[in-house]
Amino acid sequence: MSDTAIRASSETLLATKAPKRPANMGQILRWLILFLGGIAMIMPIVYMLSTSLKWPHEVYDVNLVPKEPTLDNYRFVLEDGRFYGWFINSLVIATITTICNLFFDSLVGYTLCKFRFPGRYIVFIAILSTLMIPTEMLVIPWYLMSQQFGWLDTYWGIMFPGLMTAFGTFLMKQFFETVPNDFIEAARIDGLNELEIWWTVAMPLVRPALAALAIFVFLGNWTAFIWPLIVTNSVEMYTLPVGLSSFGDEADVAWELIMTGAAISTIPTLVVFLIFQRFIIRGVVMAGLKG
Amino acid sequence: MYRNLSIRQKQIVWAWAFLAVPVLFYSVIRFYPTGNAILISFQDWNLLGKRTWTGWENYIKLVNDPVFWKVFKNTFVYLILGTPISLVISFVIAYHLDKLRFMHGFLRMLYFLPFMTSAVAMAWVWRWFYQPVPIGLFNNLLASVGIPQIAFLNSTTNALPSVLAPAVWAGLGFQIIIFMAGLRAIPRSYYEAARIDGVSNWTVLWEITIPLLRSTIVFIVVFSSIGFLRIFDHVFNMTTNNPGGPLNATKPLVLMIYESAFTNYDMGYAAAQTVVLFLILLAVSLLQLYLLRDSK
């Protein structure tokens, strides 16, 4: 698909005007079925939230609306303190990783896109080829590395593998193609150095791509499981998914508490999504089709 | 000195200055570990003792390990069930959603919402759904209409599809959005021409829509195939009491790697498994390149 087609499709995806058709039975039926399907899609999330508001004795009822809603489960889980710490860990790690990706991925993408220099092609192919290497293959060597340098059970240890991604680099490279070279030349004539050109001229022009990348990186790190599971071993250093996993085991049959923990790790991304919905969907399309 | 350089030479200096840290990162955090993983796969090592060279021994052990073949089969069952099911469901939903205007954004939101959740959290939610009466939602619902209980996670035959379901569910939203973008990219004039010719909707679907969606379909198939081949979070969290159980019925390759390395500390053996995973994923990626080249 060409660039313009992708841009056009991500734009039209959000536009709701289309040729008006008279509502007929077929359309109404289609709407109803899709509506019921959509409700079914969110049922696991709804049940999670509803159970987190139930008293223990009501958990086994299939009713959706709690008879006597309570925030007791949240109070219990948060007073325990661990979830609070895991939440902070996840937030700090996902935020720093996102900022780092935005900076480096766009810097590398920009360099590969706008500079001509010996070695450009080799660097390009080398970074591209890392897309083929699965994380699971690297976790053993990363673990050994972390053990050797004392990175086990530290923020740095959890973060270092994801500070730059080939996916982000290529997404940004694609978008810098849309920045006209004339702008860059003009800035050069005005006496800006290359770093200033990148930061003040090119970066503001690719803001939508930066936002898309930020969403993907943040969500990816917020929900990341296998590497944080391997690299952390003290309870205080767990991220939310790792903490939730260990908490689920420990809580055993206290499903209302497990659902509360699950809700705590899900609500932030859901809220962010509901606020920035159109924006996020556009970002997903851009990242999905271009990256 | 910098001042005496030509514009082109200055560009080279800047480019490499920008790339210095990233090149170091990719060398140390991506390429060196890849080589190291391959190296370890030819060694015997339990993390504490010495690394000793054993040649192909880990691979020979792997080929003769019945658990590995069970796991290998499971991994492909996840792929062979998961990819077509999620492809068909997401296409059907996207195709019909594309034709609706009334509350379009709201419906789209409902379908996309699960994509924003964490696999671990949702694995626990589904695990609760699957519990026997009187705990689990599904069995309670079945009981209320008089259908006998189903053993979801405790059965060697039902456990794998049960674990797969939330993985399919969580990925649908993304695939639907990508499909809808693909559908919108098809020029309307094609449809108008077909309408003037009086072609049926069914023919339009098979002769225009699906052929023109080819690159979208290839992308989604490869993207979800890679996801299912690497399934881990759902399996691990839904079977924490007996990871990959019952009787290895749900164990995928990544879980076997995790257990070999971090439960049994058999690093060489685990590394050999990661090399196998790498080769499988490489084959899928190359297939994608081949199919996409063909379509252009």
CA B262 to chain centre: 22
What pLDDT digit, counting tens, does each position of B22-49 carry?
A: 999 999 999 999 999 999 999 988 888 7
Q: Residue B51: inside a domain, yes or no?
A: no
Same domain, B261 and B145: yes
| Number of domains making up chain B | 2
Report the gap between the CA of B117 and the closest CA in chain A (Å).
6
pTM for the full predicted model: 0.89
Contacts of B67 (CB under 8 A, 6+ apart): B248, B251, B256
Range of the structural domain that residue A228 is part of = 81-290
Q: What is the rounded average pLDDT of the residues B256-276? A: 93
Contacts of A237 (CB under 8 A, 6+ apart): A89, A153, A154, A155, A158
Q: Which residues of chain A have pLDDT under 50?
A: 1-5, 16-17
Going from the C-alpha of A131 to that of each of A97, B32, B226, the distances in angstroms are 18, 15, 12
Q: Residue A173: inside a domain, yes or no?
A: yes
Contacts of B50 (CB under 8 A, 6+ apart): none
Number of A:B CB contacts under 8 A?
281
CA A58 to chain centre: 34
Are B38 and B246 in contact by the 8 Å Cβ rule? The answer is no
Question: What pLDDT shows up at residue B63?
Answer: 93
| Number of domains making up chain A | 1
Q: What is the rounded average pLDDT of the residues B202-215? A: 89
Same domain, B10 and B94: no
Tokens matching residue A102: 């935005």
Question: What rounded mean pLDDT belongs to chain B?
Answer: 90
SS3 of residue B43 by DSSP: strand
Task: Compute and round to an integer the Cα radius of gyration of chain A.
Answer: 23
Question: What pLDDT shows up at residue A1?
Answer: 40
Range of the structural domain that residue B207 is part of = 56-295
Cα distance between the two ends of chain A: 13
Same domain, B187 and B289: yes
Same domain, B23 and B88: no
Tokens matching residue B268: 């060489």
Phi, psi angle pair for B53, to nearest 5° = -75, 130
Question: What pLDDT shows up at residue B295?
Answer: 52
Same domain, B94 and B232: yes
Whether B292 shows a pLDDT value over 80: the answer reads no
Q: Residue B144: inside a domain, yes or no?
A: yes
Q: Residue A153: inside a domain, yes or no?
A: yes
Facing residue for A38 by CB, picked from B107, B120, B233: B107
Same domain, B268 and B231: yes
SS3 of residue A222 by DSSP: helix
CB atoms within 10 A of CB B85: 16
Pick the residue of A12, A27, A34 with the most B CBs within 10 A to test the interface with B by mutation: A34
Handedness of CA B12, B16, B17, B19 (dihedral sign): positive
Same domain, B94 and B205: yes
Q: Which band of pLDDT confidence, cut at 50, 70 and 90, is reported for residue B88?
A: very high
Number of helices (H), then strands (E), belonging to chain A: the values are 16, 0
Tokens matching residue A237: 């250093």
Same domain, B189 and B144: yes
Which ipTM score applies to this complex?
0.90
Which of A150-154, B98-102, B230-234 is the least confident region?
Answer: B98-102
Question: What rounded mean pLDDT belongs to chain A?
Answer: 87
Q: Residue A49: inside a domain, yes or no?
A: no
Same domain, B82 and B165: yes
- The CATH number that applies at residue A92 is 1.10.3720.10
Question: What pLDDT shows up at residue B278?
Answer: 94
Question: What pLDDT shows up at residue A14?
Answer: 53
What pLDDT digit, counting tens, does each position of A18-29 carry?
A: 555 556 888 889
Question: What pLDDT shows up at residue B150?
Answer: 84
Same domain, B2 and B80: no
Cβ separation B180–A13 shorter than 8 A: yes
Residue A146's nearest CA partner among B36, B58, B260 is B36
Q: Residue B45: inside a domain, yes or no?
A: no
Measured between alpha carbons, how far is B137 from B19 in angstroms, rounded to an integer?
Answer: 54
Contacts of A183 (CB under 8 A, 6+ apart): A201, A202, A205
Same domain, B149 and B273: yes
Same domain, B14 and B156: no
Question: What pLDDT shows up at residue B76?
Answer: 93
Cβ separation A30–B99 shorter than 8 A: yes
- The CATH number that applies at residue B211 is 1.10.3720.10
